[in-house]
Structure 1
Amino acid sequence: MTKDTLIRAWYALHTKSRFENVVNERLMGKSIEVFLPKIQVPSKRRDRKKIIQIPLFPGYLFVKTDLNPYEHLEIVKTTGAVSLIGNARGPVAVPSEDIESLKIMVVANKEVITGYQLQEGDRVMVVGGPFSGMTGIFVRYKGINRVVINISALGQFASVEVNEEDIEILPEKTS
């Protein structure tokens, strides 16, 4: 593969938790084109009424590269970087139109609602509230921002109702 056959494209880069800004700054310092979409949200702290900027996709940012071996290595060895998102054949490019749409969305400075649709059977972990640390299986949505999760033990299950914002999907087991 020669330099002429490599095409620059956008790729999603997975980062360590809360390392998006560090990776963004380090990659810019390496003169690699990077895009970290951020949105403004009210702080969740009870003692403040402050607007803060957070990543639109926590744990991810976008890099534009042609994946030449040197640049690819520079990207993945950046402090806080985990891996480029892809499949068995390698990193998969994100369409340029999607990146442009994200840039327009972020610049518009309007409320952006993010999230993912949980599917019945998704393994989840509660990361906030009184059930923090508990893992279970997503059962269904119950009203606005409420979900039901089953926890099984001894061949039986118990269900709890939690805030949707207090859960995260766990990666599928690969065993």
Structure 2
Amino acid sequence: MLALNENPPLTWPDKRIRDFNGKWYVAHCKSRNEKILAWHMTHKNINYFLPMRLNVRKHKNKTFRTLLPVFTGYIFFCGGEQQRLEILRTNRVANMIEVQNQEQLIDELEAIENALTASFAIQSCQHFGNDCSNIVAEPLDTKGQIVHINGKTYIVLTISSLGLTVNIEIPFEMLRRIKPNYA
């Protein structure tokens, strides 16, 4: 378990993921290899995004704080064929996923990046389907679905290409309903 200051950065280099150049891929890592692979990418100067959340756990009289990947087993990276091969050579990747809709993935990752940058609590969750209201979370400029769980309001964000979802606890007054797009 790493100390908080020993974790890799969420993004490398330290800039917005929309500003990364290259093609986006998803590395499906071998068990518990996300952070090690992120450090490797940092040393090789490969652009990546590893969304992580703070996990606080108490044991006896001690409090443990760790950063855990939001999407266990996945790290998103941007580059070319040379970077893809470099990552495969690490022997830390179980599967490499090519992203068909690059712009959609960037939009979805950017929504999660905005939530993490604004320090909202984020966690992975079950997919709720289409029974939720479409909304915009004003402070994040993020579109998503809204759900209420145990008296709390969450915006649900999805990484469509992987079928992964996260929920972000957000004050209800920061939400605005939008009309669904029936294209």
Sort the TM-score into its range (normalised by shorter chain). 0.5 to 0.7
Secondary structure of 1:113's aligned partner: strand
- Deviation (angstroms), 1:44: 6.3
In the TM superposition, what is the alpha-carbon distance from 1:46 to its structure 2 partner? 5.4
RMSD: 2.6
| Match of residue 123 from structure 2 | 113
Q: Give the match's secondary structure for 1:82.
A: strand
Match of 1:9 in 2: 23
What residue is the counterpart of 1:84 in the other structure?
96
- Contact kept in structure 1, 2:24 and 2:77, CA below 8 Å: yes
Report the equivalent of 2:39: 25
* Length-normalised TM-score, structure 2: 0.51
Cα distance between partner residues in 2 of 1:10 and 1:105? 20
1:36 lines up with 2:47 in the alignment: no
TM-score, normalised relative to structure 1: 0.53
- Structure 1's 13 and 44: CA in aligned 2 closer, same or farther, altered over 3 A? farther
Deviations 1:128-150 (A, max 9, x none): xxxxxxxxxxxxxxxx8xxxxxx
Q: Which amino acid aligns with 2:87?
A: I
> Structure 2 CA distance, aligned partners of 1:34 and 1:47?
37
What displacement does 1:77 show? 1.5
Shift of 1:78: 1.7
4+ runs deviating over 6 angstroms: none
| Unmatched segments (≥5 aa) in structure 1 | 1-6, 119-143, 145-175
Percent identical among aligned pairs is: 23
What is the count of residue pairs matched by the alignment? Answer: 108
Q: Comparing both structures, which one devotes a greater share of its residues to helix?
A: 2
Aligned partners of 2:55 and 2:65 also within 8 Å: yes
Distance 2:61 2:97 in 1: 38
- In structure 2, the CA distance between the partners of 1:12 and 1:45, relative to structure 1 (3 Å rule), is farther
C-alpha separation in 1, matches of 2:115 and 2:122: 8
Instruction: Answer with 1 or 2: which has the greater Rg.
Output: 1
Counterpart AA for 1:13: A
On the 8 A contact 2:53/2:123 being kept in 1, the answer is no
Question: 1:45 offset after TM fit, Å?
Answer: 4.6
Q: Using the alignment, how far apart are the partners of 1:48 and 1:55 within structure 2? A: 22
Q: Partners of 1:73 and 1:59 in 2: how far apart?
A: 19
Listed as ranges, the gaps of 5+ residues in structure 2 are 1-20, 129-149, 151-183
Does the 8 Å CA contact 1:32/1:65 hold for their aligned counterparts?
Answer: yes
